[in-house]
Amino acid sequence: MTINGKTALCYAKMGADTIIRKFSTEDLPPKNRFHYHQGVFLSGVERTYLLCKDRKYYDYIKNWMDYHIDKDGKIKYNDNGLQFDDMMPSIMLFNLYNDTKDERYKKVLTDFSSLVDVWPTNARGGFWHKDIRPNQMWLDGLYMIGPYCVMYAYYFNKPYYYEIVYQQMNLMRRNMTDPVTGLLYHAWDDSKAIDWCDKETGLSPEFWGRAIGWYAVAVMDILDFFPQEHPRRHEFVSAGIDIINALVRFQDEQSGLWYQVVDKGDREGNWLETSCSSLYTYAIAKAIKKGLLHKSYVKYINRAYEGIINSLKFKDEDLIIPNICIGTGVGDYRFYIDRPTVENDLHGMGAFLLMCSEYYDTCNQLGL
């Protein structure tokens, strides 16, 4: 599909170029931190590069990594406590290491695997989201750690990490899925101690859009590296299909987007959120490309893609993405809908690049 004469790859390049013009590699926010905000954007840049082969995108990623990694293979700015959020950008190091054989990159990847080995868990073996969030699992965590673990298992022949990722996904799926809607709650406290949780289930009260997006994208990306013959693979396939089938029931028919609180589009104050809509579109498109979903699901990604593109604004050469929820914790309905929105936040731009690159690739491969 072309809109205004431009393909999805054209829009991905416009989005990447907008941020690259604004920020040098060392200034990409949050400055002086190796963090998932940059990671989701850079992963979108990487996928754009793999499609268009414009070297400036590769160089931007490599320069950012080299700014943050010292000569001994240590992250320079990594004093923010124990959290998976600061591991997510490492997924770009696998390709960089394969290309360059720079041992610093391998050192970072190996050091992160050692952290996974000692990560604190709840009573059921679920990784704490952060060291300051004891016993809590957040859907975000599967995106922050899951693709890294399966890529580490794949590239360095460490099959143990396949089992680790399966355990985390399975705990989320079994304990955080709502049996009525099929959606997953944002967070779960197995100890039932935190103030936001239901004291019987430990679950948070709402289905927050971007958190479910992280989970759906993670499941699809994990399948890229999970062995075909592995006995657990079918459970990731099932998890991906289940969450997509739940999500499509809540897509807004008029706009093609999804709401900040996914299942409450009819509630006062709720609003259509761009980053989660982009992440869902990415996951659905990838599932179609993998042959996990019938081509009839293309109607959902066409509607969403068109809706997101039509929501964009433009200023000179810049592409502007509106209605992106800022980073957020866990809360009730009012908490989520009162979160501020921003334009071109890296959450939203990264999700947009992922969507555009995957939509373009899926349509091309399937001849759509």
Structure tokens at 221: 């990306």
The answer to whether the CB of 130 falls within 8 A of the CB of 142 is no
Distance separating alpha carbons of residues 192 and 259, to the nearest angstrom: 28
- Which stretches of 42-162 are assigned E, i.e. beta strand? 136-138
Distance separating alpha carbons of residues 269 and 256, to the nearest angstrom: 18
Q: Which residue has the tokens 């921003």?
A: 342
Q: Which residue has the tokens 């200023």?
A: 315
Report which residue type is found at 306: E
In the set 140, 263, 345, 361, the catalytic residue is 140
Residues constituting the chain: 368
- Please give the helix or strand (H or E) that residue 38 lies within, else none: helix 36-52
Catalytic residue status for 140:
yes
Listed residue (127, 96, 130, 94) closest to 109, CA to CA: 94
Distance separating alpha carbons of residues 267 and 270, to the nearest angstrom: 6
Active-site residues, by number, are 140
